[in-house]
Amino acid sequence: MIRRAAFIAAAALLLAGCGNKQAIRSFSDNEGDYLDLGGLKYQVQMSRQLNPYDVEDHAYLAGVPRSLAHLGPNDSWFAVFIRVENGSDKPKQAAGSFILKDTQGNTFLPVPISRENAFSYHGGFVAAKGNLPPNSSVAQANESIGGSLILFKVPNASYANRPLELTIRNPTDQQQTASVDLDV
């Protein structure tokens, strides 16, 4: 009886200790939550449709290749502003592969944007204890977005198939992903 009580007490202590660890999160149904992928934390700051005739939104569309810049009558621009944090002591490779999907299974890939656009996301390495966009960047300093831009061209009909889900692929293990449902 005493052995059993000691075993139960030891198991309870072991389980209680596990409660101090933060679980790795690879899915969220809310923007703003942190997702863990490849040793980095990804956070969608916000997502929204862009209006190319709005002064602020027009700046986000700078650097879109001319061949892709035209919207069809039933299409719109959809922006995802993302932040990536590296809490480790070593630089880490950030994701460069993203997929946007609606509930009907329609998928959309990002539209490439020139590096001349100060808001555009280009992945690369995140410095040790650093983040993307870097603290000194225009994208980070812009309080309304606080992240780097990933741009999609989306048919308007897909907004009826909500939520849209953003999937992020680990650059060092393409089978490993994280995803978040986006507000539209």
Report the candidate in 25, 27, 37, 43 with the shortest Cα–Cα distance to residue 172.
37
DSSP structure string for 70-115: PPPTTEEEEEEEEEEE--SSS-EEEP-EEEEE-TT--EEPPPP--T
pLDDT tens per residue across span 149-162: 999 999 999 999 99
Residue 9 domain-assigned? no
pLDDT tens per residue across span 6-26: 444 444 444 444 554 567 899
Per the structure, the complete domain to which residue 136 belongs is given by: 22-182
pLDDT tens per residue across span 51-94: 999 998 999 999 999 999 999 999 999 999 999 999 999 999 99
pTM: predicted TM-score of the whole model, two decimal places: 0.86
Residue 105 domain-assigned? yes
CATH number, position 145: 2.60.40.1240
Number of domains in the chain: 1
pLDDT number for residue 6: 43
Residue 16 domain-assigned? no
In this prediction, residues 104-119 reach a mean pLDDT of 96
Residue 113 domain-assigned? yes
Residue 4 domain-assigned? no
